[in-house]
Each structure stands twice: as C-alpha cells, then as structure tokens.
Amino acid sequence: MEKKVAVVNGGAGGIGRAVVRRLGEAGYALFILDKNEQAGGETLEELRQQGYQADYHVVELTNAAEIKTLFAAIQREAGRIDLLVNLAGGTLHKHPVQEFPLAEWIEVLNVNLKATFLCCQAVCKLMRERKAGVIINTSSNFGITGGAGRTAYAASKAAVIAFTKSLALEMAPHGVRVNAIAPGLTATARVMGGYDKAEWQRRARQIPMGRAAHPSDIAEGVAFLASDDAGYTTGQTLHVNGGMIFN
C-alpha cells in the first residue's frame, strides 16, 4: 500500500469519527476498529463518500487473542501500520467507591487501559522493524483531577499517561513516537447525554474558553501528534480542553 496506514480504535465514536475524518483528509488509509457495528458502518460510508480509503472491523478490545489476530490481518492486508490511535473507552460505570463492584471496576480498567496496552503491543514489533511509527493513546482531564464516582475511570486515564511515557522510552531508540491526547469536556452525544441541558451549558460556561471541546478540536490535536510537526515530541500528553485544567 502506497498510502500511510492508520488504525483507529474507537474510530466510530463521537470523537473517533472526527479523528478518522481528519486523518482521511491528511491522506491516511484508515482501518477503523469499533464494537458498535452500526456506527462503524455509517462512518465507513461517510469516509468512502468523501473519497477516503477506509475499512472497518468490529472488535472486542479486551480479548487479547482477537486483537492479535486482527492486527496481524491488517498488517498482512496493508503491509504497513504507520499510526495507531487508541480512542476507545469511557467512564462506563460511576459509583461511590464503597459500592463499586470489583467486576465493574476491572471492566473500566480493561476497556480504557488494558485494551490500550494490548493494541500497542500488537503494533510495536512492526513499527520497531520499520523504524517508524506513531502511537497516540487517549487520557482525560479526569486522569489528572480525579472525579467523584469515577475512581476506576480516573485511575485508568492516569495510568494511560504513565503507560504512554514508559512505551515512549522503550520505543524512542527505534524511531517510534508515543504520545497521549487528553480531551476535556467534549460535546459528543454520549457525554452530553449525561447532563440535562442547563447543567451542560453551566459546565461549558465554566471552562475558561467558554465552551466545551468540539470533537474536531480533539481531531486536530491527534493530527498534529501524528504529523512530522511533532517529530521531536514523545512521551507527552497534549491537553485539549479550553483551559479547563492545567498540567
């Protein structure tokens, strides 16, 4: 394949769709992984209508064997993987800690943290051999600030940052960059659905820039980290949050 190849895990979600659109525009051939088949199909259709080269695979991101097989298949088909963007995840469960069932706590960790580890692991050998590649993981403002009821989500998102720094150290000698993006409050259907309208507007107004992030704001950050403009940047976390938190 002549084109650069990007694998975007969670590529059909609220932020994911903006990211794949932006990466299509940047000239990448796209492999979208998402567990939501309907959203995956819609995203694929939209990208193809725009004339972008795109493919979609449904995947259960906590199944290590499935991930391994899928990435091997993509590698065979595309011959290269230049960019991995790990966007899949979410808060999933919110409970006070004393009521948080262990199984749900671990599920949050698996979706946000372990899946990131497994997908990175699946591409790092290939990227190391090609002496090129970029990995972008997703953290969150909650990984820095914590959130009441979000002990699991905050732990997983803080952990993604340290995981990213560690992998950056391991991959730096091989020409592979690994960074994280940390969106703040972002206007996706899923996030907005968690608030009534007045509460959403109040929260958005509290942000220094006076609005929540649009998914395209996050996509621009991803595109920057993926590009050669960020060629000397590794192990960093890019906060795209309108000044909501500083780190």
Partner 1 sequence: MKMGRLENRVAIVTGAGQGIGRAIALGMAREGASIFIADINAANAATVKQEITAQGGRAGALCSDISEEQSVRAMVDVALKEFQRIDILVNNAGMFPTSPVEEMQEEEWDRVIGTNLVGTFLCSKAVVPHLLAQRSGRIISLTSGRAFQGAKNGAHYAASKAGIIGFSKSLALELAPHGITVNVLCPGITDTSQPRGHQTEEQIYSQGQRIPLGRIGQPEDLVGPTIFLASDAARFITGQTILANGGGIMW
User: What positions carry a catalytic annotation?
Assistant: 153
**Nearer to partner 1 by C-beta: 48 or 203?**
203
Site string for partner 1, 46-85 (x = CB under 8 A): ------------------x---------------------
Report the Cα 157 to chain-centroid distance in Å: 11
* Span 117-146, contacts to partner 1 by CB under 8 A: 117-118, 120-121, 124-125, 128, 142-146
Phi, psi at 243, each rounded to 5° = 85, 15
**Nearer to partner 1 by C-beta: 95 or 211?**
95
Cα distance between residue 73 and residue 75, in whole Å: 5
198 binds partner 1 (CB under 8 A): no
Nearest to 90 by CA among 8, 157, 11: 157
Q: How far is the CB of 98 from partner 1 (least distance, A)?
A: 4
C-alpha torsion 92→96→101→104, nearest 10: 10
Cα distance between residue 138 and residue 181, in whole Å: 5
CB contact set of 183 (below 8 Å; sequence gap of 6+): 15, 138, 140, 141, 213, 218, 240, 241
Q: Does residue 233 contact residue 206 with C-beta atoms inside 8 Å?
A: no
35 binds partner 1 (CB under 8 A): no
**Nearer to partner 1 by C-beta: 72 or 162?**
162
> Interacting stretch for partner 1, rule CB under 8 A, among 49-57, 114-122, 180-188, 208-216?
114-122
Q: Which stretches of the chain bind partner 1, using CB under 8 A?
A: 64, 96-98, 100, 102, 105-106, 109, 113-114, 117-118, 120-121, 124-125, 128, 142-152, 154-170, 235
